[in-house]
C-alpha cells in the first residue's frame, strides 16, 4: 500500500509539471482530467516512467504524459538528436536530415514538428510532402548525402501507437556508439523550455516525386528475370497496402517490373491511421489478409501480397495442393526470395564466391542449408534490420550482398537502402512467381523443392502479451525463470545447447562446456537447441508489451508427396513444445 501511495505522489508531481505554461492548452486540459479522475490508473500509466528513447528510438501509445507519444516526448527526442548531430558533425558547414512519416494519426503533425526543431537548430530538414514507405526514407538519406533521418511510424502496431525511428548517415537505424550517445543527449533534455519548437522555414525543403522516381529506378535495377515477366505479365496479382504507405509505390513498382494485371482491394487502398477494415494492420495476422484472399478467390489470382502500414514488411499468400489460399510465414518468404536470388545469380554466372547473405538468429536454420548448398557465406545477427545493415556496412566494398531477412516478414534485397523493404520484396516475389511458372511450377512446388533439397522445417511464433507496468515486470520475471531454471528437455528431446545472448555464453549441456559467442553486443535473448535440432528462441519485444517465443522443428521430406505428412508431424511436435514451455 505504501509503495502505491509513493508511486501516486511521484506521478502526481510529474503530471503537475505538465500544467505549466510551457505546455499547450489542450495538453494541460487532458492532464487535469487525469489528475481529477477518481480512478488513477490512467494517470499512473501516463506518467509512471518516461517513454524511453531506446536503441530503436521511441514507440508508445499516443496521449499526454511522459510515458506517451506526444509533441513533447517527440520534441525532446528531436532536440537531443539535434544536439548530438551538431557535436558529431561539428566540422560540416551544413548538417542535413530527412524526415518521413507513415499514415498513422498524428504522424504528419509529429513529422512537421521534428522538421521544425531540426530547422530551428540550424540543421537542414528534407521533409517528405506526404506519407512514404520506411525504406524510401532510408534510401533518401543516402541519396541526398544526409547525416541522419527520422521516420514517424509505429510499423504494424495497433492504431493507438506511434513511433520515432532515428537513422544514421548510412541509412540504417542507429547502433553503437551513436545509439548510447543520442540517448545521453536526449536524457539531458530536462524541460520543455530546452526544446526549440519554432522552426526556420528557410531550413526546410519539401521533397517527393524526385525521390520516388530515383528509388523506383534503383528497385527496377534489381530485376533478374525480365523475360519470364514478359511471358507471364498478365499473371493475376492481388495486392493490398492495408491502409498504409505501400499504396504510394508498390503498384507502380510492380508495373515497372512489367506486370499488367495488379488487382486492388479498394477499401484497403484508402490510407487511414484507424485501419478500419482490420483488427490488426499486420500481414503476419491471417485476418489482415482476409479481404485480399476474398478478392483473390473472386478473380482466381495466382498470388496475393500485402505490405504493413509503413511498407517495410511483406505478407504473401499462395495456393496449396487443394487450391486453397494459405499464408506463407516470414521464414518461408525469406527462403523463397533468397533461393530465387541465389539461383538466378548462379544461372546468370554472377556468383564468384564473394557473395553473402544475412539472417537474424531467430530466423529458420534452413537458410543456412540453402547457402551451404551454393557455397555462399551466411551471417547471423540480432533481430532488427539495423543489425543486417551493420553487416552490409562492414562488407561494403569487400563482398557482394545478395539479400537478408528475418522471420517477422522483413526482407532487404538491395544495399542502396538499409532497412527492410516491402517495395522491392513484393516486386521480386512477383517476379519469382513468374520465373517459377517458366519452369512449369507454382509457388507451392517451388517451396517444396527448397524443402526436398535443404531439409524440411516448420516454424511457429507465440507472443504472450502483458500490458502496462505489471506486465513489464511479469515479462522480466519470465526471462529470469528461464535463465535460472532452464528446461532439461523440450518436445521429447534433450536440450543440448543453451545460448544466452545477455552474457554471450553458449553452454553445451551434455558436457558442461561454456564458450563465448562472437556478437557485437549483448541482448536479452535466450535460445534452446535440442538433440533433434528443435530450436526455441525467447525474447521480450523491444517495441511492444509482449514476450516472444520462436519455435522451429525439423522433419523429413524426400518427395512432394511427403509435404502434408511432414506438416502434420511438425505441427504435433510444435504443440508438444508449447506445452513444455507453458505457452500452449
What are the pLDDT digits (tens) for 484-518? 999 999 999 999 999 999 999 999 999 999 999 99
**Quick count: other Cβ atoms within 10 Å of Cβ 196?**
18
Q: In which residue ranges of the chain is CATH 3.30.310.50 found?
A: 456-581
Q: Supply the angle between the helices 563-581 and 443-454 in degrees, to the nearest 10.
A: 70
DSSP string, 23-47: S-HHHHHHHHHHHH-S--HHHHHHH
CATH of domain 229-454: 3.40.120.10
Distance CA 403, CA 345 (A): 12
Angle ∠(81,86,90) on CA atoms, nearest 5: 150
For the record, the C-alpha cell of 221 comes out as: 535495377
Q: In which residue ranges of the chain is CATH 3.40.120.10 found?
A: 55-207, 229-454
SS3 445: helix
CATH T-level assignment (fold) for domain 55-207? Alpha-D-Glucose-1,6-Bisphosphate; Chain A, domain 3 (3.40.120)
CATH of domain 456-581: 3.30.310.50
Local structure of residue 270 (DSSP, 8 states): S
User: Are residues 555 and 458 in contact, defined by beta-carbon separation less than 8 angstroms?
Assistant: yes
Distance CA 334, CA 405 (A): 6
What is the model's pTM?
0.94
493 labelled catalytic: no
In DSSP terms, 303 is beta-bridged to: 237
**Quick count: other Cβ atoms within 10 Å of Cβ 510?**
11
Local structure of residue 174 (DSSP, 8 states): P
Distance CA 561, CA 23 (A): 66
pLDDT by residue for the chain (584 residues), tens only, comes to 346 789 999 999 999 999 999 999 999 999 999 999 999 999 999 999 999 887 678 999 999 999 999 999 999 999 999 999 999 999 999 999 999 999 999 999 999 999 999 999 999 999 999 999 999 999 999 999 999 999 999 998 899 999 999 999 999 999 989 999 999 999 999 899 999 999 999 999 999 999 999 999 999 999 999 999 999 999 999 999 999 999 999 999 999 999 999 999 999 999 999 999 999 999 988 999 999 999 999 999 999 999 999 999 999 999 887 889 999 999 999 999 999 999 999 999 999 999 999 999 999 999 999 999 999 999 999 998 999 999 999 999 999 999 999 999 999 999 999 999 999 999 999 999 999 999 999 989 999 999 999 999 999 999 998 887 788 888 999 999 999 999 999 999 999 999 999 999 999 999 999 999 999 999 999 999 999 999 999 999 866 778 999 999 999 999 999 999 999 999 999 999 999 998 97
Write down the mean pLDDT value for the chain: 95
For the record, the C-alpha cell of 385 comes out as: 534490420
Residues 20-40: pLDDT tens digits?
A: 999 999 999 999 999 999 999
Residues 545-555: pLDDT tens digits?
A: 789 999 999 99
Angle ∠(357,358,362) on CA atoms, nearest 5: 140
- Selected catalytic residue, list 66, 96, 138, 155: 155
Amino acid at each position: 500500500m505504501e509503495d502505491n501511495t509513493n508511486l501516486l505522489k511521484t506521478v502526481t508531481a510529474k503530471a503537475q509539471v505538465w500544467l505549466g505554461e510551457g505546455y499547450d492548452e489542450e495538453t494541460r486540459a487532458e492532464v487535469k482530467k487525469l489528475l481529477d479522475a477518481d480512478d488513477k490508473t490512467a494517470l499512473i500509466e501516463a506518467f509512471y516512467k518516461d517513454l524511453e528513447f531506446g536503441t530503436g528510438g521511441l514507440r508508445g501509445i499516443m496521449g499526454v504524459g511522459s510515458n506517451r507519444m506526444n509533441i513533447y516526448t517527440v520534441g525532446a527526442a528531436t532536440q537531443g538528436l539535434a544536439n548530438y548531430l551538431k557535436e558529431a558533425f561539428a566540422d560540416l558547414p551544413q548538417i542535413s536530415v530527412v524526415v518521413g512519416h507513415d499514415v498513422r494519426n498524428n504522424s504528419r503533425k509529429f513529422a512537421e514538428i521534428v522538421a521544425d526543431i531540426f530547422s530551428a537548430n540550424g540543421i537542414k530538414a528534407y521533409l517528405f510532402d506526404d506519407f512514404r514507405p520506411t525504406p524510401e526514407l532510408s534510401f533518401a538519406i543516402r541519396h541526398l548525402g544526409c547525416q541522419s533521418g527520422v521516420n514517424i511510424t509505429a510499423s504494424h502496431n495497433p492504431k493507438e501507437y506511434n513511433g520515432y525511428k532515428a537513422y544514421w548517415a548510412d541509412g540504417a537505424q542507429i547502433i553503437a556508439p551513436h545509439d548510447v550517445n543520442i540517448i545521453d543527449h536526449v536524457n539531458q533534455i530536462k524541460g520543455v523550455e530546452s526544446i526549440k519548437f519554432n522552426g526556420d522555414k528557410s531550413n526546410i525543403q519539401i521533397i517527393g516525386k524526385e525521390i520516388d522516381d530515383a528509388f523506383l529506378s534503383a528497385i527496377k535495377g534489381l530485376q533478374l528475370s525480365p523475360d519470364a515477366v514478359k511471358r507471364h505479365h498478365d499473371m493475376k496479382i492481388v495486392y493490398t497496402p492495408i491502409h498504409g504507405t505501400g499504396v504510394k509505390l508498390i503498384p507502380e513498382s510492380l508495373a515497372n517490373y512489367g506486370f499488367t494485371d495488379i488487382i486492388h482491394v479498394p477499401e484497403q487502398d484508402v490510407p487511414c491511421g484507424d485501419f478500419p477494415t482490420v483488427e490488426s494492420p499486420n500481414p503476419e495476422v491471417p485476418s489482415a489478409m482476409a479481404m485480399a484472399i476474398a478478392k483473390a478467390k473472386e478473380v482466381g489470382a495466382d498470388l496475393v501480397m500485402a505490405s504493413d502500414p509503413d511498407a517495410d514488411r511483406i505478407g504473401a499468400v499462395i495456393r496449396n495442393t487443394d487450391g486453397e489460399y494459405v499464408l506463407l510465414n516470414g521464414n518461408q518468404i525469406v527462403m523463397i526470395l533468397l533461393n530465387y536470388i541465389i539461383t538466378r545469380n548462379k544461372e546468370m554466372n554472377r556468383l564468384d564466391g564473394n557473395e553473402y547473405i544475412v539472417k537474424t538468429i531467430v530466423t529458420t536454420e534452413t537458410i543456412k542449408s540453402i547457402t551451404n548448398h551454393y557455397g555462399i557465406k551466411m551471417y547471423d545477427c540480432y533481430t532488427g534490420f539495423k543489425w543486417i545493415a551493420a553487416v552490409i556496412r562492414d562488407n561494403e566494398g569487400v563482398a557482394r550482398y545478395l539479400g537478408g531477412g528475418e522471420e517477422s516478414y522483413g526482407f532487404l534485397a538491395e544495399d542502396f537502402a538499409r532497412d527492410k523493404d516491402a517495395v522491392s520484396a513484393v516486386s521480386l516475389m512477383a517476379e519469382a512467381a513468374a520465373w517459377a511458372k517458366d519452369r512449369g511450377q507454382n509457388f507451392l512446388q517451388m517451396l517444396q523443392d527448397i524443402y526436398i533439397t535443404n531439409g524440411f522445417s516448420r516454424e511457429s511464433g507465440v507472443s504472450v502479451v502483458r500490458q502496462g507496468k505489471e506486465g513489464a515486470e511479469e515479462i522480466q520475471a519470465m526471462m529470469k525463470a528461464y535463465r535460472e531454471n532452464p528446461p532439461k528437455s523440450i518436445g521429447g528431446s534433450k536440450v543440448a545447447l543453451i545460448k544466452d545472448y545477455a552474457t554471450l555464453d553458449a553452454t553445451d549441456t551434455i558436457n558442461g562446456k561454456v564458450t563465448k559467442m562472437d556478437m557485437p553486443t549483448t541482448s536479452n535473448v535466450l535460445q534452446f537447441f535440442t538433440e533433434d535440432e528443435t530450436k526455441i528462441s525467447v525474447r521480450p519485444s523491444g517495441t511492444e508489451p509482449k514476450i516472444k517465443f520462436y519455435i522451429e522443428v525439423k522433419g523429413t521430406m524426400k518427395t512432394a508427396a511427403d509435404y502434408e505428412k511432414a506438416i502434420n508431424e511438425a505441427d504435433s511436435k510444435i504443440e508438444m513444445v508449447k506445452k513444455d514451455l507453458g505457452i500452449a
